[in-house]
Amino acid sequence: MSLRLGDIAPDFTAETTQGTIHFHEWLGNSWGLLFSHPADFTPVCTTELGKTALLKGEFEKRNVKVIAVSVDDLDSHNRWVPDIQEVNGVEVNFPIIADGDRTVATLYDMIHPNASEKATVRSVFVIGPDKKIKLTLTYPASTGRNFQEILRVIDSLQLTANYQVATPADWKDGDDTIVVPAVSTEDAINKFPKGVNVVKPYLRYTPQPNK
């Protein structure tokens, strides 16, 4: 059965390029980004894992731990890592799960038989400190992910978890936000001292509250 937003992210124990991890324990009180790639020694995946490593500081700034997974074994991962580092000019600074028996791929429904019976699709799961799934994305094997979009969504998730706001289309960090419908306009004016712009009774903008 597919995982849905708000479900507890399945826990697991796995071997990785950085040793054995117990997933929930490894996450601790951090946010998590779990993403799958179809196979080692493939071109798109090599660029994706390199980009993830290059963005290490951005993920750390957001208290996000990153971990990758594919159905290749640990020896394959360890032989592939030098290629990623050479091509992208960066150290692979996050663990890659060896999932040869497909335990993690099955738990997270990462193999879509109509696309491929063997390889994982490019799944993305953002997991909150409460271990609940906050976001799921699925890309075909042929399309590399936009990691700036993933960071943008994490910014929105973290903002909206702490304030009674939502983010509009194409929002990015620093833009105005939307007051959620559960807050009356009168209460919004008191709650958001930077101002409330009433466009429609149900559409009220306010400057990003944590800026």
φ/ψ of 45, rounded to 5, equals -65, -35
Q: Which of 9, 27, 33, 45 is catalytic?
A: 45
Mean pLDDT of 111-137: 79
**What domains are there in the chain, each with its CATH number?**
13-145 (3.40.30.10), 163-206 (3.30.1020.10)
The pair phi, psi for residue 150, each rounded to 5°, is: -60, -45
d(CA 127, CA 112): 21
CA 121 to chain centre: 15
- pLDDT value at residue 118: 54
45 in catalytic set: yes
Q: Examine the pLDDT at 117 and tell me if it is beyond 70.
A: no
pLDDT at residue 112 in the model: 59
Q: What is the pLDDT of residue 160?
A: 97
* Mean pLDDT for the stretch of residues 165-180: 98
- What is the per-residue pLDDT for 122? 82
- The DSSP 8-state label assigned to residue 113 in this structure reads T
pTM of the predicted model as reported, rounded to 2 decimal places = 0.92
Q: Is the dihedral of CA 27, 78, 20, 5 positive or negative?
A: positive
